[in-house]
Amino acid sequence: MTFVPVIPESYTHVLAEFESLDPLLSALRLDSSRLKCTSLAVSPKWLALGTSGGGLNLIQKEGWKHRLFLSHREGSISQVACCSHDDDYVAVATSQGLVVVWKLNQERRGKPERIYVSSEHKGRKVTALCWDTAVLRVFVSDHMGKVSAIKLNTSKQAKAAATFVMFPIQTITTVDSSVVQLDYLDGRLLISSLTRSFLCDTEREKFWKIGNKERDGEYGACFFPGRCSAGQQPLIYCARPGSRMWEVNFDGEVISTHQFKKLLSSPPLPVITLRSEPQYDHTVGSSQSLSFPKLLHLSEHCVLTWTERGIYIFIPQNVQVLLWSEVKDIQEVAVCKNELFCLHLNGKISHLSLLSVERCVERLLRRGLWNLAARTCCLFQNSIIASRGRKSLTVDKLEHLKSQLDLTTYNDLISQLEDLILKFEPLDSACSSRRSSISSHESFSILDCGIYRIISSRRGSQSDEDSSSLHSQTLSEDERLKEFMSHQEEDQPDQCSSSHGNEDNVSHGPVTFETDKNETFLPFGIPLSFRSPSPLVSLQAVKESVSSFVRKTTEKIGTLHTSPDLKVRPEPLGDEQLCEEDVSLVTCPNEEDTEEKKEVTSQPPEDKLQELTIATAEAMTKLQDPLVLFEPKSLRIVLQEWLPQLEKTFAMEDFSVISDSGNSSMTLNGDALLIEESKNEIVDENDEKEERDSLGIEGTVDQMTRDSVNSLKEPLNDLFRVCSPCNIANGLWKDLAELTTLCLELTVLNSEIESTSGHVDHTLQHCSPEILACQFLKKYFFLLDLNRAKESVKLSYTNSPCVWDTFIEGLKEMASSSPTCIEMEEGDLPARLKLLDDSVSFDSPLLIAYATQLYEKFGESALRSLIKFYPSILPSDVMQLCHHHPAEFLAYLDSLVKSRPEDQWPSFLESLLQPESLRLDWLLLAVSHDAPPSTSIMDDEGCPRPHSHLLSWGYGQLILHLIKLPADFTTKEKMTDICRSHGFWPGYLTLCLELERRREAFTNIVHLNDMSLMEGDNGWIPETVEEWKLLLHLVQNKSTKPASQKSPNGNFSDGPSPVNVENVALLLAKVMGPDRAWSLLQECGLTLELSERFTRTCDILRIAEKRQRALIQSMLEKCDRFLWSQQA
């Protein structure tokens, strides 16, 4: 048996798990992968568990008895809140954003009833629910920052008219970002968002911002109630970055900042549990810089929080860490007094208690857990020896504990227990007298949770050890403040002792600081995904590899020589790279003084430019003819005749240059291709001479063709022409831009001119259209209308991402030397977004290049932030941007649609569907991502599984909006097939209704086994006798087949009413009347399968029908008498 380590004396409390809730979850069938717990809440009486199937289980904590099950068809349960001052009320938020308030009616043993359903936050994610502590009022917040209040009607007179009178929902406020946590106390509502905390006086409708410094991320805040007997005002604690908390008074003023970073360097305390033996490692770790996502008031003097690593409990008024323990994968924690209920990411629930060590050992002894009790005593022996609670944990109890252990198995443990017993001092010894002397100036009280509250008469005194440990801590905010692009601040450690400072100065008492009013804040409330900057090592490696390959090949082949008047132009540096960002007229700076820069630019001969001018004028003249302009075939012929002249004019510019031996590092990446083809070209030159001799003047046409072909063969891998190689007149440039853009739009990317021999050069026909488009973009990028080119690339090369990537690379090359691009390399996401917003025009085509740069750096968070640039950046742009990760595009699209008011979602989504073909693409994406597993949706035959239409889809709302938009018949049929093949049954049934495919709809409703689909205003009720016969026949055939698997939500009894003969017969009787229903059932031979319930229902319907007829007759007679009296 191994030796049990000893924990230092300073730890007096521990988290203990005395019982496992796994059997309870198993009994509730919440231990499967298809149905699990998604939220929880606790009150003195109830433990409330929300499920992914939309159910709410209410378990009575006394004896863990399952008392109630409340079902919700509005989606899975995302939030639950129990009323703290009245156990008869509970509030629930669903995944669809609906908030339902239930009255349980436990006092009169009635049936639970929904007393309020709020759709104020429908379509949004409800992030927090919070009850008023005095009246029946619920506060609700969502991810868009909206906070509302639901006031319930509690007067006796109003209860009688509860179905007719409901208080309107009150909108409290809308903050700048998603709400993280809500808390309420004594008329004050505390709101913690992603950026800051707010305090609201709900009675006087006043609002305060807490502190001046913003934060970025999920940080919680909670009230800390004061002691009424001592006249203490409540306090507020707000989480800050770097393991810190603000202490705030009840008026919203920051008193001090408490730093826990270094205090958390201590090793974690073990959780006392039956699942494993407690272990303790004495190794002191590094200080923990944590962000506390939520803060909860626990017991009387403690504040609890948690991270993905563990649970942390603080005594903030004393700046102490009571304990922290490793508890992995916590999703949510609910507390009640000293009890903790932890919901884990896998749906499991653990029940922990915060106890003093002595009380923990006592409970273990009462339960007969001898081994665990002995280990706990040995672990915390310093705390037990020094504690004042030894009246409860006496030597006799320890002796009894030792006697229960097996000597052969627990020999070392027994030895440690004996040492502990020897160290125990009698209560009337010197130790007791020493403690009595201490109590002369100190008194203490033992709280319910076991915490000792020391009341000192020495006001203002403080432990030197605590003081020195706190003063030795440095602020961790320095690194966070580096996010600001200007007005950087640095908090120095020595400021802690000064009389003035900002709010983040570490303090040890209620000292008020003056705030710095010159702070600069980020105006964004976006969760940042900090990542390291992308390295350039791979790009440099590629460059070196290609240069080495070209250099070696050049050494092997010496037959290729460059012309002495053609030299490569070095890459411009610094200001030489700058070109105008106004892409409507892109020209390079004047290069007359090139002698100092040692570069030679070969201008096209004047006659070639003149020929291009003439050819361009002829082409533009032909375009004035409507028969040419509006006929694509004729337009292509004109462009095909003009393009060779363009290729001839600019063929040798920047693409045919080869560096000399002295500039090997400047060799273009594609020179290897020229070298490989050099021998063939030399042979071709000999053939060309003979042809020119035989063909005479006509050979010039073939030469022009070969020039254009050779220009396409030249290297284009990494070189763009983003600037004009020569000065072009403004009028000519506009005509060139129009014709070049038309070539790209009509895919006229290379010239095919027939020679005099009737032969057409097919050299380039082996190149794919994508490669030709990429080459065309690189060669003539400086001539393109970039906005039209972007739309052309999206429409013509949707399935060729390489063309889009090439276009974006050209934009990056154009923007690479601008000051904005250089500044965009630094800073976090909000800083870069602000820079982009301030310095780049929204109609600039370079905006998409900067957006690509942000996406490559920050991923999905950058995509979501692009919503603010709509309509400059369209969803089709973002779809091309993240074509490798379509799920990220769905997240962007969903956020973009939900950024508009809910009533505008359909019309806004319809406006985004340009072109119309995007509808099917987006629908296919939405049903393919974040969807339930196919095995839970369809059986082996492809039929729907029972209740599978109730499963949660990640983009279910988006899918339904896409389906309900108007479209032609063919598109609707394709959408129906997509929904059918992927098992999205709500959409499939909706489309069947629109397409009048009612037989298919009824067949699938029977398989889904949910009568609610045929009830209500939107239900599918058969309209003819033939449809009723079909439905009865389907139900009858289903009843003869073996029982199918369970529904996704558990047993059929837990879900909606099943589709069986009796339920369909009851619906038939309500619609057609009992007599006609009975005759139809007799005709189908189903009367024998009906129970007495059907007979009683028919009798009631007959009575109601007679009374209704009598009432109508009576009203008609009264009207008749009234009319006759008026006539008389």
DSSP 232-291: PPPEEEEEETTTEEEEE-TTS-EEEEEE-TTGGGSPPPPPEETTB---------PPP---
**pLDDT band at residue 57 under the 50/70/90 scheme:** very high
| Strands, sheet with 179-185, edge to edge from the N-terminal-most edge strand | 179-185, 188-193, 197-201, 206-210
Kindly give the pairing relationship between strand 339-344 and strand 272-273.
Answer: unpaired
Q: Please say whether the beta carbons of 16 and 355 come within 8 A.
A: yes
pLDDT in tens, 449-472: 445 455 443 433 333 333 333 333
pLDDT computed for residue 426 by the predictor: 54
Q: How far is CA 978 from CA 252, 923, 926, 937, 963, in A?
A: 55, 8, 11, 14, 11
Helix and strand totals (H; E) in the chain: 38, 31
Say whether 874 sits in a helix, a strand or coil: coil
Lowest mean per-residue pLDDT among 332-346, 755-769, 1031-1045, 1062-1076: 755-769
Cα 637 to Cα 833: distance, rounded to the nearest angstrom: 46
Please give the share of the chain, as a percent, with pLDDT higher than 70.
72
Residue-averaged pLDDT of the chain: 75
Q: Is the pLDDT of residue 1122 over 80?
A: yes
Yes or no: say if 328 and 309 are a contact pair by the CB < 8 Å rule. Answer: yes
Q: What is the pLDDT of residue 928?
A: 87
**Range scoring the smallest mean pLDDT among 103-117, 383-397, 703-717:** 703-717
SS3 146: strand
Report H helices in 128-269. Answer: 156-160
Contact between 101 and 94 (Cβ < 8 Å): no
Contact 264, 285 (CB under 8 A): no
At residue 229 the predicted structure's pLDDT band, cuts being 50, 70 and 90, is low
Q: What is d(CA 296, CA 220) in angstroms, rounded to the nearest whole number?
A: 9
Greater model confidence, 636 or 1040: 636
DSSP 8-class letter at 212: S
Q: How far apart are alpha carbons 597 and 491 in whole angstroms? A: 48
Residue 517 has pLDDT above 80, yes or no: no
Q: How far apart are CA 197 and CA 179, in angstroms?
A: 9
How far is residue 1059's CA from residue 916's CA, in Å, rounded to a whole number?
Answer: 39
Residue 185's DSSP bridge partners are 188
Three-state DSSP at 145 gives coil
Average pLDDT over residues 274-292: 85
- Spatial contact of 922 and 975, defined as CB atoms under 8 Å apart: no
Sorting pLDDT into bands at 50, 70 and 90, what band is 312?
very high
Quote the tokens at residue 298: 């626990």
Q: Which two tokens stand for residue 471?
A: 């003063």
Measure CA of the first residue to CA of the last residue in the chain; give whole Å: 111
Token digits of residue 429: 């010894």
> How do residues 610-650 score in pLDDT, each as one tens digit?
888 888 999 899 888 888 888 888 888 999 899 888 888 88
Q: Of the given ranges (147-151, 991-995, 1102-1106), which has the lowest mean pLDDT?
A: 1102-1106
907: pLDDT confidence band, cut at 50, 70 and 90?
confident
DSSP alpha helices (H): ranges in 630-729?
632-649, 671-676, 678-695, 699-713
3-state secondary structure 909-940: HHHHCCCCCHHHHHHHHHHHCCCCCHHHCECC
What is residue 504's three-state secondary structure?
coil
Q: Mean pLDDT across the stretch 502-517?
A: 39
* Backbone phi, psi, residue 147, to 5°: -125, 125
Upper half-sphere CA count for residue 36 (Cβ side, 13 Å): 12
User: What's the pLDDT score for residue 478?
Assistant: 38
For residue 527, cis peptide bond before it (omega within 30 degrees of 0): no
Q: Quick check: helix, strand or coil at residue 182? A: strand
Whether 486 shows a pLDDT value over 60: the answer reads no
Say whether pLDDT at 530 is over 50: no
Residue 871, preceding peptide bond in cis (omega within 30° of 0): yes
Confidence of residue 1049 (pLDDT cuts 50, 70, 90): very low
Higher pLDDT, 390 or 438: 390
Determine which of 130-134, 417-421, 675-679, 847-851 has the lowest per-residue pLDDT on average.
675-679
The arithmetic mean of pLDDT across residues 646-655, rounded, is 66
More confident residue, 589 or 1067: 1067
Predicted local confidence at residue 816, as pLDDT: 81
Task: Please say whether the beta carbons of 986 and 949 come within 8 A.
Answer: yes
| pLDDT > 60? residue 25 | yes
Spatial CB neighbours of 614, under 8 Å, sequence gap ≥ 6: none
CA–CA separation, 562 and 602 (whole Å): 14
Q: pLDDT band at residue 766, thresholds of 50, 70 and 90?
A: low
Cβ burial 739-755 (10 Å sphere, 16+ → b, else e): bbbbbbbbbbbbbbbeb
pLDDT digits (tens, 9 = 90+) for 189-208: 999 999 999 999 988 888 89
pLDDT value at residue 354? 95
pLDDT of residue 167: 66
Among the listed residues 136, 145, 37, the one whose alpha carbon sits nearest the alpha carbon of residue 91: 136
- What gap in Å lies between CA 79 and CA 141, rounded to an integer? 11
Residue 942 per-residue DSSP state: S
DSSP string across 977-1021 = HHHHHHT-HHHHHHHHHHTT-HHHHHHHHHHHT-GGGGSSTT---
pLDDT at position 668, please? Answer: 35
Q: What is the mean predicted confidence (pLDDT) over 64-83? A: 89
Kindly report which listed range (426-430, 604-608, 731-735) carries the lowest average pLDDT score.
426-430
Is residue 173 within 8 A of residue 191, CB to CB? The reply is yes
Backbone angles phi, psi at 65, to 5 degrees: -100, 130
700 CA to centre of own chain: 63
- Residue 95 scores a pLDDT above 80: yes
Residue 544 or residue 954, greater confidence: 954
Query: Coil, helix or strand for 456?
Result: strand
Whether the predicted pLDDT of 1000 surpasses 60:
yes
Residue 1029 in this model has a pLDDT that exceeds 50: yes
Is 307:317 a contact under the CB 8 Å cutoff? no
Structure-model confidence comparison of residues 442 and 630, the more confident one:
630
Contact assessment for residue 496 and residue 529, using Cβ atoms and an 8 Å cutoff: no
Low-confidence winner among 119-128, 132-141, 306-315, 838-847 (lowest mean pLDDT): 838-847
- The whole-number pLDDT of residue 726 equals 80
User: Maximum distance among all alpha carbons in the chain?
Assistant: 129
Q: Is the pLDDT of residue 63 over 70?
A: yes
Q: How confident is the model at residue 1042 (pLDDT cuts 50, 70, 90)?
A: low
Using the predicted structure, report yes or no on whether residue 516 has a pLDDT greater than 50: no
For the beta carbon of residue 886, count every other beta carbon within 10 angstroms.
16
* Of the candidate ranges 205-214, 534-543, 1060-1069, the one whose mean pLDDT is the lowest: 534-543
